[in-house]
Amino acid sequence: MAKVAHFRFYAELNDFLPPVRRGVEFAHAFRGDPSVKDVIESLGVPHVEVDLVLADGESVDFSWRVRDGARVSVYPVFESIDIGPLVRFRAAPLREVRFVLDGHLRRLARYLRMLGFDARWRADAGDEELARTAAQEHRILLTRDIGLLERRAVTHGRWIRETDPRRQLLEVVRCFDLAGTIVPFRRCLRCNELLEHVEKAAVAERLPPRVALRQEEFRRCPSCGRVYWKGSHHERMERLVAEVVGSATGAP
Ligand SMILES: [Zn+2]
> For residue 94, is pLDDT > 50?
no
> For residue 146, is pLDDT > 70?
yes
Instruction: Give the strands of the sheet with 157-159, arranged side by side.
Output: 118-121, 98-101, 140-143, 157-159
Give the model's pLDDT for residue 249: 61
Distance 190 CA to ligand 1 centre (A): 5
The most confident of 7-11, 81-85, 107-111, 137-141, by mean pLDDT: 107-111
* CB count in 10 Å sphere of residue 190: 12
**Res. 211 pLDDT band, cuts 50 70 90:** confident
* CB count in 10 Å sphere of residue 174: 15
Work out whether strand 98-101 and strand 140-143 pair parallel, antiparallel, or are unpaired.
Answer: parallel
Distance 207 CA to ligand 1 centre (A): 17
Distance 2 CA to ligand 1 centre (A): 57
The stretch 117-136 carries a mean pLDDT of 93
**Res. 179 pLDDT band, cuts 50 70 90:** confident
Q: What would the pLDDT profile of 32-49 be if each residue is shown by its tens digit?
A: 999 999 999 999 999 888
Distance 189 CA to ligand 1 centre (A): 7
Give the model's pLDDT for residue 250: 56
Distance 226 CA to ligand 1 centre (A): 6
- Beta-bridge partners for 6: 27, 71
* CB 72, CB 6: distance < 8 Å: yes
Distance 195 CA to ligand 1 centre (A): 8
Distance 133 CA to ligand 1 centre (A): 20
> For residue 247, is pLDDT > 50?
yes
SS3 of residue 72 by DSSP = strand
Distance 88 CA to ligand 1 centre (A): 39
Distance 244 CA to ligand 1 centre (A): 24
Cα separations in angstroms, 180 against 110, 193, 238, 248, 249: 19, 21, 15, 10, 10
